Amino acid sequence: CYTTDTKSREENKKTIESLHRLSVDIKKIRRLKEWVLLQDVAYVKEIAGILEEMGADETTVANILERCPEAILHTPAEINSQRALWQLVCQNEKQLIKLIEQFPESFFTTEYHENQKANILFFQELGLKNNIITRFLTSAPNIFYNPVEKNKNLIETLQRNYLNLGGSDANMKIWILKLLSQNPFILLNTSTVIQENLEFLQKNDFTDHEVLQLLSKLKGFIFQLTPTTMQKSMHFSQNVFKCSDQELKQLVLKCPALLYYSVPVLEERLEGLLKEGISVSQIRETPMVLELTTQIVEYRIKKLSALGYDIKSGTLESLNGTKKDFEVNYGKIQSKKERPIFNPVAPVNIED
């Protein structure tokens, strides 16, 4: 155990000397996590030795210890256990050391070792590929801190709901794996939240097929919402677009962002579009434009205007999509503008 209480404590000279020999920037540690330097026991040489064994050079070791100095407070036994654990999903030690350098905090969180191990084995049994599991370990480490039973129960709840909504047994595994790989944070929810959100959609007359459609389109982010926030967002959209319940439902299916984004976000984006001279009826025709931030919309309108394209009188389709989609559309408009008009009956001018 170590304490973060820094009052009337002195820095551990032995720790400072050991870090200095490894060319670690001690000023940086003092600035960010000085409490580490005050602990009576530290394993600087030992942890550096383990990292070097895995193939880390001097610069990499220094970089890791500067970013995550608390690594030196773990025993060599703890770090070797963690090393063996991550090797279950890493191709080799070269990949492992690269991950540790990028995400040292995730690797050096050893308090939940048994839960981490049980969850890695569970995800492998479930059919998740090792490269996806390593992505989870680095970007969503919290899901491994749960007891494995909690994650199992949540997956079972998702599977049960998928079948109840008309999904097939044959597609269920693919659906679950895709949902998890898109949004592992689903596992931080509870079975109750999942149930409540699905019931909310059914109460609002979305058919089972449409609910499944929304789950796939929203990549599971729907489970991070609440019935109250979804109700507010839908009510806001209905007032703006002045549409019936049935029309609103079709708009949500076309653009799930109307369900996902909070009222302040939708308000800000709508105002940004109206400021550019775009009408509410145009937005209603292409609601997906609300998925874009105000800054992205302004940038795209500016680029299109430079080509002489009037967004106010045209369709908003050209604004839509990912950055790649937009660049393709922009390229088409640009080449159309630059292409010379060919007159097949004009005389050919031959000077020779």
The pTM for the full model equals: 0.78
Q: What is the pLDDT of residue 228?
A: 94
Q: What is the pLDDT of residue 145?
A: 94
pLDDT of 338 > 70? The answer is no
Counting other chains too, the contacts that 145-153 makes at CB distance below 8 Å and 24 or more residues apart are: 145/109, 145/111, 145/112, 145/115, 145/116, 146/115, 146/119, 146/187, 146/188, 147/115, 147/118, 148/115, 148/118, 148/119, 148/122, 150/187, 151/119, 151/122, 151/187, 152/122, 153/191
Domain boundaries, the chain: 10-110
Tokens matching residue 222: 């729907």
Counting other chains too, the contacts that 165-171 makes at CB distance below 8 Å and 24 or more residues apart are: 165/198, 165/208, 165/209, 165/211, 165/212, 166/208, 166/209, 166/212, 167/212
DSSP 144: G
CA–CA gap between residue 291 and residue 255 (Å, rounded): 8
pLDDT of 352 > 50? The answer is no
Structure-model confidence comparison of residues 305 and 137, the more confident one:
137
pLDDT of 253 > 70? The answer is yes
**Residue that has been written with the tokens 């929304």 in this structure:** 214
Max Cα–Cα distance, the chain, nearest Å: 96
Q: What is the pLDDT of residue 66?
A: 94
User: What is the pLDDT confidence band of residue 348, given thresholds at 50, 70 and 90?
Assistant: very low
Q: What SS3 state is found at 306?
A: helix
How many angstroms separate the first and last alpha carbons of the chain?
A: 92
